[in-house]
Amino acid sequence: MKHTLCLVVSSPMTVNAFLQEPIKQLAQDYQIFLVCNGTAHDLSAEIQPYLTVLPVAIERQITIRGDWAALWQLLQIFRARKFDVVHSVTPKAGLLAMLASYLAGTQTRIHTFTGQVWATRTGLARQVLKAMDKIIATLASHILVDSPSQLQFLLSEKVVTQKKSSVLAQGSISGVDTARFCPNAQAKSRIRNTLKIPETALVFMFLGRLNIDKGVLDLASAFHFVARENPQACLLVVGPDEANLTSSMLNLVGEYADRTYFVGHTDKPEDYMAAADVFCLPSYREGFGTVIIEAAATGLPAIGSRIYGIVDAIEEGKTGLLHRARDVAELQACMLKLAASNDLLIGLGQQARARAVSSFSSQALATAWLSYYRGLQ
């Protein structure tokens, strides 16, 4: 008989975005159940046959009554089903699942850390959020962290212990589909024609949620200077504007707004990456920076902040350039360095794709998941 595994996440989007290949691999050894705030219809049709969904209303935001109800429901599920393994991903799901599975007597309790919200906070908010992560790590029997540098950060902050903690392969929760994310001349022409970006333009790109911690205001400020120096430079911004920052970014790019292109949420990030020349992620906090590896697989060099997570996704001087977080002048210098040398840009991009394919393919990470689980048996 197969072992039983219960994955716990807040949103089905987490499964669709990161866990499809690991689930397919784990299904060889495990009967898989998924607890999430949704139903099977919210999942990719491709993954539905591999698992059974158990809906529980786990909200991302703190809601006292709702969280207690979710905790009680999880406890009842874990006691009744007696899973061999409970594995949580994302902070709220982790806190509730690790507590409920501990109380239910589940022997193997795994949590995956994918970044710390409190890393950029101060005062009471930092202390409370960090304490929540400490509780998760204490209740879990095993910890996975999605990058080596993030693990070192958590160790230095005394959130996790070395004995419990591991990083799969060279990092990342799921790797990248290198067949989907790859150079695509047709997509490049189509996207540039649609957005009216000149074929000769040098396109710097950001893709992700628009919020302060992603450093998008720094990027807009840096681009204003770069655009003044280089008439071919354009900025492509793709992703949902969570914090209503579009107008602020347009103010910062000033008279170069006509060379700044905003696209909202897309389910085809690979097409927009194919249309760009350089990927930029001047973030203040990241667990790993999977989007950098996706861009790398598309053949893009990256410019990123020198913080934990990103330093694992970018090999400095080989696949991209790093700058101090919040340092707009250094970010400008990196952008201008790539704008000034097409040979450097092409060389970094080629090495970025080679590294993504050799070290971060989704198949390699899914195999690492299965190997890790088999080591637990």
pTM to 2 decimal places: 0.92
pLDDT at 95: 97
- Residue 60: pLDDT above 90? no
Pairing mode, strands 85-89 and 202-207:
unpaired
- Residue 252: pLDDT above 90? yes
Mean pLDDT, rounded, for 143-169? 97
- Higher model confidence: residue 304 or residue 59? 304
What residues form DSSP beta bridges with 109?
Answer: 86
Structure tokens at 222: 């840096």
**Residue-wise pLDDT tens digits, 103-117:** 999 999 999 999 999
Q: Which residue reads 């997570």 in tokens?
A: 309
Q: What is the mean pLDDT of the chain?
A: 96
pLDDT at 377: 78
**Residue-wise pLDDT tens digits, 259-317:** 999 999 999 999 999 999 999 999 999 999 999 999 999 999 999 999 999 999 999 99
Q: How many helices (H) and strands (E) does the chain have?
A: 15, 13
Instruction: Write the CB contacts of 212 (distance below 8 Å, at least 6 apart in sequence).
Output: 243, 245, 284
What angle (nearest 5°) sits at the alpha carbon of residue 288, between those of residues 283 and 292? Answer: 70
pLDDT at 331: 98
Mean pLDDT, rounded, for 192-209? 96
d(CA 346, CA 116): 33
pLDDT at 119: 93
Structure tokens at 125: 């908010």
**Residue-wise pLDDT tens digits, 162-199:** 999 999 999 999 999 999 999 999 999 999 999 999 99
Phi and psi, residue 72, nearest 5°: -65, -40
How far from the centroid of its chain's Cα atoms is residue 249's Cα?
23
CATH number assigned to the domain with residue range 185-359, chosen from the 4 options 3.30.450.20, 3.30.1200.10, 3.30.230.10, 3.40.50.2000: 3.40.50.2000
Q: So where are the chain's domains?
A: 3-175+362-376, 185-359
- Residue 63: pLDDT above 90? no
Are 338 and 302 a contacting pair, CB within 8 Å?
Answer: no
Cα end-to-end span (Å), the chain: 13
Sign of the four-CA dihedral 88, 129, 303, 312: negative
In which band, very low, low, confident or very high, does the pLDDT at 49 lie, cut at 50, 70 and 90? very high
Question: Buried b vs exposed e over 337-372: b needs ≥16 C-beta within 10 Å?
Answer: ebbeeeeebeebbebbbebbbebbbbebbbbbbbeb
Are 288 and 114 a contacting pair, CB within 8 Å?
Answer: yes
pLDDT at 140: 98
pLDDT at 54: 97
333 residue type, one letter: A
Structure tokens at 272: 């927009």
Which class does domain 3-175+362-376 fall in?
alpha beta
Same fold: 3-175+362-376 with 185-359? yes
- For the chain, give the percent of residues with pLDDT over 70: 100
pLDDT at 242: 86
Around Cβ 13, how many Cβ atoms within 10 Å? 13
